[in-house]
Amino acid sequence: MSILIDEHTRLLIQGITGNQARFDVRYCLEYGTHIVAGVTPGRGGEEVEGVPVFNTVAAAMAATGANASAIYVPAHSVKDAVLEAVDAGIKMLLCLGENLPRHDASVAVSAARAAGAHMVGFNSNGLISPGKCKMGGIGGDSARVLYAPGRIGVCSRSGGMSAEICRTLGRSGLGASTCVSMGGDPIVGMRMLEVLRLFEADAETDACVIFGEPGGSHESEVAEAIASGELRKPVVALVAGAFQENYPPGISFGHIAAIIRGGNDSATAKRALLAQAGALVASSLEEIPGLLKAALADR
């Protein structure tokens, strides 16, 4: 199994006629993702990489049976694109735009939640269920090399580290059931704990790896869920960014959400919270496979 996407996902691309969308569509199609439609208002009737373009999401769904959408539009248009998708009945969305206006992000997330839709992003490079489907730019033209199929669920606040972690898993004989690059903006559709809850319920995911960084409460929420017994599968955590503790608070490094505002926002504090809760905290990529194998052997 996998979470969120699989070989039955029928994907449409909002903003398919843009340069980045065209680039990613080519590699997704080569990977085997079923991209059945694109949407760009006023460009209906065209094709991109053989994919038909429609003027609206509703028209695309009616013609192709699309059930998921990757949104490639400028930040100021993302809110309207999300609202159109959820109004049409899309239940799986990926939003790649970054640094959205906070009000727009809040409205979009609220609309998706109210509609019962899963939304990954903002500021995500995608998600992948190895061997089945990939959405977004994740893996580029090397997805089959970087992302081996397996039974480890991966959720990362960094798109680049998604690849690093999954490449490390694959080279050690493990692999990923699904890898979710959850996004680096302050407001995101699915929080880290929500992704891990799906992995917890997935019979073909045996353990999870998370990649965290300074700022926000994602990692502390995961720690609370582990401590309470809500998350029972082993969780290995790699939290980067301790260097940021040498700088004045309130400055972001990398992702805009990576800001230390309070005591529990630092990488050091998050590592301690996770370790105290029972997560296995890795100090490097190379430690992750060994921690996973030991935890799974104990089970």
Among 8, 34, 118, 255, the active-site one is 255
3-class secondary-structure state, position 13: strand
Task: Give residue 95's Cα distance to chain centre.
Answer: 9
Active site residue 255: yes
From first CA to last CA, the distance across the chain in angstroms is 20
Render 166-185 in DSSP notation, one character per residue: HHHHHHTT--EEEEEE--SS
CA atoms within 13 A on the CB side of 152: 31
Q: Do the Cβ atoms of 197 and 208 come closer than 8 Å?
A: no
d(CA 166, CA 143): 10
Quote the longest CA-to-CA distance of the chain: 58
Burial 259-287 (b: 16+ CB within 10 A, else e): bbeeeebbbebbbebbeebebbbbeebee
Q: Residue 161 corresponds to which amino acid? A: M
143 three-class SS: helix
Beta strand pairing call for 133-136 and 126-129: antiparallel
Name the H helices within 89-203: 102-114, 143-146, 159-171, 192-201
Residues with a known catalytic role: 255
